[in-house]
Amino acid sequence: MPELPEVETIKEELNRRIKGKRIAGVKALWSGIVKIPLKKFIGAIMDAEIMGVERRAKILVMPLGNGFTILMHLKMTGQLIYDPRFTPPAGGQDLRKILQEPKYKYARIIFFFIGKGALIFNDLRKFAYIKLIPSGNINDIIGKEKLGPEPLTPDFTLEKFKSILKKYPKRRIKQLLMDPVIIAGIGNIYSDEICFYAGVLPVKPAGKLSNSQRERLYDGIKKILLRAIELRGSSVDNYVDASGKKGDYVKELKVYDREGESCFRCPGIVKRIKLGGRSSYFCPRCQK
């Protein structure tokens, strides 16, 4: 499940690998992932240069040289893998063979680049999407009216976080942390890890947090997300980076997916509950 650190990892790698390349062709194995008519999509991006890759919340933002921008969301099981072995469709006799590899079993869309190489969008669950928008409309789609602040930018200050908590005093803290309209990019895994770091129960209403809990949560947001980026994300489920490699933050997960196991901080046992339909893991002994 790619969240902010995983998408950030993919973003950095794509910048190293496909920035400056031009799109030579697109092959759709399942066109439903593209949210505009496929022919229109292909027509609009053909021959365009990839100007770079950015991230907003969990969305990859790829401005093109022709005034359009591609938006890609991996949702639960999306993967974006750059593979240098592919050649443009005209000369792609190896295409069929490569696509038979297990890692491409759920390949949905392939972007071929002029010269060589391709970007393969895999998605088992088919929840992921690709959208194309005029670059000028970017703020209407992913601006701060639509999505909460980026938690790692300098303007996400302790004061700002406290004012958010004040605005939604009845929301349970885990659900507040993972609400994309309130704060961008934090999902099920990191919200649990941040609550554990802060020693706060995920069900605690934001308005009932002590001052030191509020500060520890703020601290945890920054520290845990940065550390996870450093380790190239968490590979629970099927997450891999743009080279198809797993992330190492799973080794540092303290509560997520550890139901019934011992707490790393106290003699408690990690518990799982349902919160808004999602699994939530925490230690009932040391989280208050």
Instruction: Work out which of 178, 183, 195, 255 binds DNA, going by CB under 7 A.
Output: 178
- Catalytic (active site) residue 2: yes
16 is catalytic: no
Would you call 119 helix, strand, or coil by DSSP?
Answer: strand
Distance CA 211, CA 222 (A): 17
- Which runs of consecutive H residues, i.e. helices, occur in 46-137? 95-99
Element spanning 181, H or E: none
User: Is 195 a residue that touches DNA (CB under 7 A)?
Assistant: no
What six digits make up the tokens of 127?
A: 């929840």
Amino acid at 265: R
Where does this chain touch DNA (CB under 7 A) — which range of 21-29, 88-96, 165-173, 193-201? 165-173
* H/E element, 272: strand 271-275
Q: Which of 38, 51, 98, 124 binds DNA (CB under 7 A)?
A: 124
Q: Indicate whether 276 belongs to the interface with DNA (CB under 7 A).
A: yes
What is the x/- site pattern for DNA, positions 25-64, by CB under 7 A? -------x-------------------------x------
Q: How many residues bind DNA (CB under 7 A)?
A: 29
Which of 126, 208, 222, 246 touches DNA (CB under 7 A)? 126
Catalytic residue among 2, 5, 63, 151: 2
Cβ at position 28, least distance to DNA in Å: 14
**Token pair in block for residue 276:** 């808004």
**Which position among 171, 246, 278, 285 bears the catalytic label?**
278
Q: What share of the chain is helix, strand, coil (3-state, %, to 5)?
A: 35, 25, 45
Q: How many CB atoms lie within 10 A of CB 16?
A: 11
Is 3 or 193 the residue whose CB approaches DNA more closely? 3
Query: Is 11 tagged catalytic?
Result: no
CA-wise closest residue to 106 among 128, 88, 122: 122
Does the protein bind DNA through residue 137 (CB under 7 A)?
Answer: no
Nearest CA among 213, 143, 211 for reference residue 177: 213
- How many separate helices (H) and strands (E) can be counted in the chain? 8, 10
Q: Is residue 102 annotated as a catalytic residue, yes or no?
A: no
Chain-centroid distance, C-alpha 256: 17
Q: Which of 11, 58, 172, 216 is catalytic?
A: 58
Q: Which of 115, 136, 279, 284 touches DNA (CB under 7 A)?
A: 279
Footprint on this chain of DNA (rule: CB under 7 A): 1, 3, 32, 58, 73, 75-76, 124-127, 147, 167-172, 175, 178, 180-181, 187-189, 276-279
Kindly list the catalytic residues.
2-3, 58, 278
